[in-house]
Amino acid sequence: METCHEYADVCTTDKHPEFGCRWNTLSVGLKNCADQPHFSDHRRDSLRRFANAMPDMNCFEKDGQCKCCCHPFKPNKEGTECVKIHEEPKCDALGEYNQWSKCLWYPLRNVTQEVRSHCHLGVHTNEVLLPKPTGMELPEPCGHCSFKVRCKTRPRKDGCL
């Protein structure tokens, strides 16, 4: 791994096991992780500060490694130098909402898979979401714990969510 000493240096780093070369999603994941109810306020604030301090990185995969530059730079096609991003990408408008999904219910792995499938999200399985333990019986879907989703999509394009 190489350390960035200046914004215009290309960093070469290993792929994250979950995020691949999408290192910019790590800070979002940390912020979401900080919202877990079992964390103390002090620990939650520390995680948020750490996530907010992470630099915004623009990365792509080349030869099994991530080539990254700190925003507002991005790696050139060869991954040898950082070039300044002159303008933000023009993202297409989001399309219309799709139909509502079926009611989603535990275990969380099933909820995640259903949302991923219904919204056509091309993301990897998050192995942190374990399947239902053997022998555990979940109650019937009831109350406000069950929910439906619907999504808007647009053509995939670098820099556009």
Could you list the residue range(s) of the whole structural domain that residue 55 is in? 11-84
Domain boundary among 84, 107, 141: 84
Q: Is residue 17 domain-resident?
A: yes
pLDDT tens digit sequence for 101-159: 888 877 777 788 888 888 887 665 555 556 666 777 766 666 666 778 888 888 877 76
Residues 108 and 146 in one domain: yes
Share of the chain above pLDDT 90, in %: 6
Q: Is the model's pLDDT at 3 over the cut of 60?
A: no
Number of domains composing the chain: 2
Q: What does 52-100 look like in DSSP terms, one character per residue?
A: HHSPPEEEEEETTEEEEEETTEEE-TTSSSEEE--S---PPPP------
121 shares a domain with 70:
no
Q: What mean pLDDT is predicted for residues 14-23?
A: 84
- Does residue 3 form part of some domain? no
